[in-house]
Structure 1
Amino acid sequence: MSANLDILMFAALAVAVLSGFPVAFSIAGVAVIFAYLGWMLGVMDISLLGAFGQRVFGLISNQVLIAIPLFVLMGALLEKSRIAEELLDTMGRAFGQLRGGLGISVVLVGALLAASTGIVGATVVAMGMIALPTMLRSGYDPRVASGIVCTAGTLGQIIPPSTLLIILADVMSNAYQQAQYEQGKFSVEALSVGQFFAAALLPGLLLVALYLLYILVRGFARPQDMPPADVSFARPGVSELLRAVVPPVLLIVTVLGSILSGIATPTEAAGVGAIGALLMAGAKLGRYRGVILASAAALIALAVAADVFPVRFQRSDLATGDIVAGVFYILFAVIGVSGIAAALLNVIREKVVQDALTSTMTMTSMIFATILAASMFSLVFIGLGGEERVAHWLQSLPGGAIGALIVTMLIVFLMGFFLDFVEISVIVLPLVVPTLILLGHDPIWLGIILAINLQTSFLTPPFGFSLFYLRGAAPKEISTGQIYQGVIPFICLQAIGVLLIWFVPQIATWLPEVMF
């Protein structure tokens, strides 16, 4: 028994999670129990737990992970101010009169919301409450409609910015450095969040294309499953369409553009995104709209001008042009701050920011509590010798590097039926990824195919989070069985996406190579 404590530890974790006890406490509790069990049986040095304090400090001071609450806040502001709802309604009326048109609009809105919010739960619930009843009234098969809504919502995990990619970038970078140390390299390279954002962009768009192609083909092959919407739908005019689409697109371009161009770090860009979402929400609520729009224009002008022509007032050799530019920059900043204050007044008055902050704190605390607990779990698992067992097992699998990766992908997929992406990312991946990198797999490419696999965990029954979100928001006439059946074709499409990236790795590696 003492020789197999690491295996028993994983089995105990599965039982604890499936029991319904809160996940973070389940992970930490199992870790503590097995640490003392290993100490009593003489197979683990209990002083190893002293390193947990350093791990906690490392997590709290991790600059990369600070981006998570800011991106979550950005998405929460867009959701609570009903900007996402307006976008969904407008796109639905624009495409609704095509066969499968409502499905197309849901996928396109899902992609836009993914790139501007990255929050799966908010997207699925919003589309489940707004788009799903419309699709059912138009005669859509309940299974097809449910599958489209669930899947479009999960795009927030693969299209940047997303919490999955931020966590995965941190895990993959640590694993890559560990692999380099084991190879005898002490001048190690690190991987950045920006590289993973760039790498995930084309695969994310590939998945969107696969979903749209499937909807179009099914719409023509089985028109009774996805009939056109009622012709009484008022199609939006060009100005209405632009009003709904342009602000989220501008936010996406600002956030992703600043990261991919190297102007800002992901954390800085997340701050920009949160301010941008605040300005959008403030303008949507009506009052002081002119001030807020002027503020947004001033802040954009300030960012562009300061990058093209930077001014440093602390220098003693400032030219007249520098002083004039500096005065204009100060003026832009004052206008920007006044607009932010006006937007803040609007969102506070309408109680939007209070709801958004509550949602942000709830989700952020869940993510960080899970990461902390998983850090304790992996520490004990390593102390019980589990890391060496996993490395030896992967290296001895038939098929070499390809065989090890296939088995890892299958394990991650199966674990997705029961565990959330956060638990899999911070418990399982640190144990297997260093060995896979040592076997010769490119860490960027490896991270992206694992990200798509982890995204699938939102769709796989019985514990797919996207399924639960939709179950809570869907009309009563839709059964849980219909939701489960509806996502099966899309799980297969995600598997096709993984295979395409597997055989054409340039889909994931070309953009980061060009940009970084």
Structure 2
Amino acid sequence: MDSILIGEALSVAMFFGVVAVLMLGFPVAFTLAGTSLIFAGIGWQFDAFNPALFGTLVSRYVGAMVNEVLVAVPLFVFMGVMLERSRIAEQLLVTMAQLFGSLRGGLGLSVIMVGALLAASTGIVGATVVTMGLLSLPAMLKAGYDPKLACGIICASGTLGQIIPPSTVLIFMGDILQGANAQAQMALGNFAPNPVSVGDLFVGAFIPGFILVGLYMGWTILIAILRPQAAPALEMTAEERRDLPKNVVVALVPALALIVAVLGSILTGIATPTESASVGAVGAMLLAAIRRQFNYAILRHVMMSTMQITSMVFVILFGASMFALVFRTLGGDALLEEFLTALPGGATGAMLFVMFLMFVLGFILDTFEIIFIVMPLTAPILLQMGIDPVWLGVMVGINLQTSFLTPPVGFSLFYLRSVAPASIGTNQIYRGVVPFVALQVTGLALVWIFPQLATWLPALVFK
């Protein structure tokens, strides 16, 4: 009995220890693995942990590397980096700015729409924010936009790749929820559980993602009406007006064709997310070749960037697997289940607590860190309590989108700061994202109140 109590105490201490070490700036993957090893050693001394269990990690690591679902991650990353190198994003921004810039607030609206298009064709937040920061921020400042509004629009629009498919976060979420749902159904005595696929999450996130786009655009229009000087119209030359129709076709058709090929194949059930990722990767190379932006040097750069981004994410996943193993063995999962089921309100109270916990952790941890640490521990419990897995995945995706905007570890803020001119203060970037964090919370509340926003389309498509 004493070893059980000691194990549970160690599991709680390990969780907060990991958070504390991460706040000190140590690398995520090594923090997760190293802290877990330390607490496993302490638990071994008190007969609360068996070191032989580390042998099970081998099968977990091999399983992750050969998992067909996770193969989509490097393919979508490759697609996004290739599109960024082919300068399709740059052409989209310039053309959309000309199309809507003559309206008050139109330049801001064009940035939001391009952010949504890039999210639906790349899914990479960092590349989107940097690209729009380099191209749109100077244009918005030159047009007389309020610097806070301009920074908020760019940062928020760049984060849409977190929730609008194809999103690498949703891919990992789908993989985690598959295992969690099977575990929960087995605990309930259902030995033939309905599978949860990445395609379900992609389709489920479609409507909520574009609700966020609508909220961002609505806020920009409201500011343009109430404070016209904060979002003035853009001046256009006669030559720009004359060439606009041709530029719109040249800029939009390639991007829309790729979006239709990738998302359309998933929505119609023609291809799995992994297969559609392959289509997207090949399509991105074809578009780059058409634009004469495809050669060995570009391909090498794209492949190196893909390898670096993918390796970073998977190393975090491997460290998180060790953390989850030690946490569960010490008895942390039983303690967590007891805590969540004891909360007032049943499943609603438990879900509310987990959402609040993830929102708070978003101030200090990265999205991948949160889903790899929190989701494997809480998802089986929530699903066992009757929470819909697709709704849970979409809610978590929207919730964690705020982690890109909330200081001090809001990566979108860092990305924009790295390319913003010296005249833009860091405090202006922070203040600019506050309304958009509130809009994201509003979107989260809408999906909470109306779960059908996340569950209706998957049921229709995959019925």
Equivalent in the alignment of 2:428: 482
| Aligned residue identity for 2:219 | Y
- 2:78 alignment partner, one of 58, 69, 73: 73
Which residue number corresponds to residue 226 of structure 1? Answer: 231
Aligned position for 2:294: 347
Counterpart contact for 2:105–2:224, Cα < 8 Å: yes
Change (3 A) 1:61 1:89: same
Contact 2:163-2:397 at 8 Å conserved across structures: yes
Which of these residues, 272, 277, 280, is aligned with residue 270 of structure 1? 277
Instruction: Indicate if the aligned counterparts of 2:203 and 2:267 stay in contact, CA closer than 8 A.
Output: yes
**3-state SS of paired residue (1:237):** helix
Match of 1:145 among 136, 150, 155: 150
Aligned residue for 1:107? 112
Q: Distance in 1 between matches of 2:398 and 2:442?
A: 11
Q: How does 1:271-420 map to 2 (within 5 A)?
A: 271-285=278-292, 347-348=294-295, 351-420=297-366
Q: Partners in 2 of 1:498 and 1:19 — Cα distance?
A: 30
1:122 & 1:3 partners in 2: Cα distance? 42
Matching residue's letter, 1:508: A
Report the CA distance between 1:509 and its aligned residue: 0.8
- Separation of aligned partners in 2, 1:513 and 1:204: 17
Select which of 87, 90, 93 maps to 2:95: 90
Q: Secondary structure at the match of 2:404?
A: coil
Task: Say if 2:442 is the partner of 1:506.
Answer: no
Stretch deviating more after TM superposition (32-41 or 274-283)? 32-41
**Aligned-pair distance for 1:91?**
0.6
| Cα distance in 2 between the residues matched to 1:183 and 1:2 | 26
Alignment correspondent of 1:424: 370
Question: What is the aligned counterpart of 2:252 among 233, 245, 267?
Answer: 245
d(CA) in 1 for partners of 2:224, 2:237: 20
User: CA–CA distance in 1 between the matches of 2:454 and 2:28?
Assistant: 32
Aligned to 1:136: 141
2:8/2:335 contact within 8 Å kept: no
1:417-456 equivalent positions in 2, closer than 5 A: 417-456=363-402
Take 1:283 and 1:112, find their aligned partners in 2: how far apart are those partners? 20
| Cα distance in 1 between the residues matched to 2:95 and 2:376 | 43
What per-residue deviation string (whole Å, max 9, x for no partner) do you get for residues 34-62 of structure 1? Answer: 11111012211221111111111111111
Give TM-score scaled by structure 2 length. 0.96
Matched, 1:13 2:33: no
Partner of residue 297, structure 1:
none
Q: Deviations over 1:448-475 (max 9, x none)?
A: 1111001111111100111111111111
8 Å CA contact 2:395, 2:447 repeated in 1: yes
Aligned to 1:255: 262
Which residue, 188, 207, 210 being the options, matches 2:212?
A: 207
Q: Which runs of 5+ in 2 are unaligned?
A: 1-5
Counterparts of 1:503 and 1:7 in 2: how far apart (Å)? 32
TM (norm. structure 1) is: 0.87
The Cα offsets for residues 421-444 of structure 1, whole Å up to 9 and x where unpaired, read as 111111101111111112221111
Which residue number in structure 2 is paired with residue 40 of structure 1? 45
* CA contact 2:118–2:128 (8 Å) conserved in 1: yes
Q: Which runs of 4+ in 1 moved over 3 A?
A: none
Distance 1:94 1:353 in 2: 32
| Offset, 1:403 | 1.0
1:472 aligns with 2:418: yes
2-structure distance, mates of 1:158, 1:507: 14
- Contact 2:7 2:330 survives alignment (8 Å): no
Report the alpha carbon displacement of residue 259 of structure 1 after superposing the two structures with TM: 1.5
CA pair 20-506 structure 1, distance change in 2 beyond 3 A = same
Q: Which amino acid aligns with 1:243?
A: V
Could you list the per-position Cα deviations for residues 229-268 of structure 1 after superposition, in whole angstroms to 9, with x for gaps in the alignment?
2344823521210110011111010111111222111111
Aligned to 2:3: none
1:286-310 CA-to-partner distances (Å, cap 9, x unmatched) read: xxxxxxxxxxxxxxxxxxxxxxxxx
Code of the residue aligned with 2:391 in structure 1: it is W
Instruction: Judge conservation of contact 2:201–2:390 (CA < 8 Å) in 1.
Output: yes
1:173 paired residue number: 178
Alpha-carbon shift at residue 359 of structure 1 (Å)? 1.4
Q: For residue 224 of structure 1, report the CA deviation from its aligned partner.
A: 1.4
Q: Residue 147 of structure 2 aligns to which amino acid in structure 1?
A: P
d(CA) in 1 for partners of 2:58, 2:304: 28
SS in structure 1 opposite 2:120? helix
One-letter code aligned to 2:419: A
Per-residue CA deviations over 1:56-78 (Å, capped at 9, x if unaligned) read 11111111000000000001011
How far apart in 1 are the matches of 2:305 and 2:412? 17
Distance 2:55 2:121 in 1: 40
What is the letter of the counterpart of residue 364 of structure 1?
Answer: T
Cα offset, 1:15, TM superposition: 2.0
Note the C-alpha offset of 1:2: 5.3
State how far apart, in whole Å, the 2-side matches of 1:194 and 1:459 are. Answer: 27
Aligned-residue offset at 1:3 = 4.3
Q: CA deviation at 1:404?
A: 1.0
Which whole-Å CA distance do the structure 2 matches of 1:462 and 1:108 have between them? 27
CA offset at residue 167 of structure 1?
0.7
User: Does 2:462 align with 1:457?
Assistant: no
Number of equivalent positions: 455
CA–CA separation in structure 2 for the residues paired with 1:101 and 1:259: 32
| SS state at 2:285 partner | helix
Q: CA RMSD in A?
A: 1.2
Aligned partner of 1:25 in structure 2 is: 30
Aligned partner of residue 224 in structure 1, secondary structure: helix
Q: Which residue of 1 is the match for residue 132 of structure 2?
A: 127
Give the structure with higher Rg (CA). Answer: 1
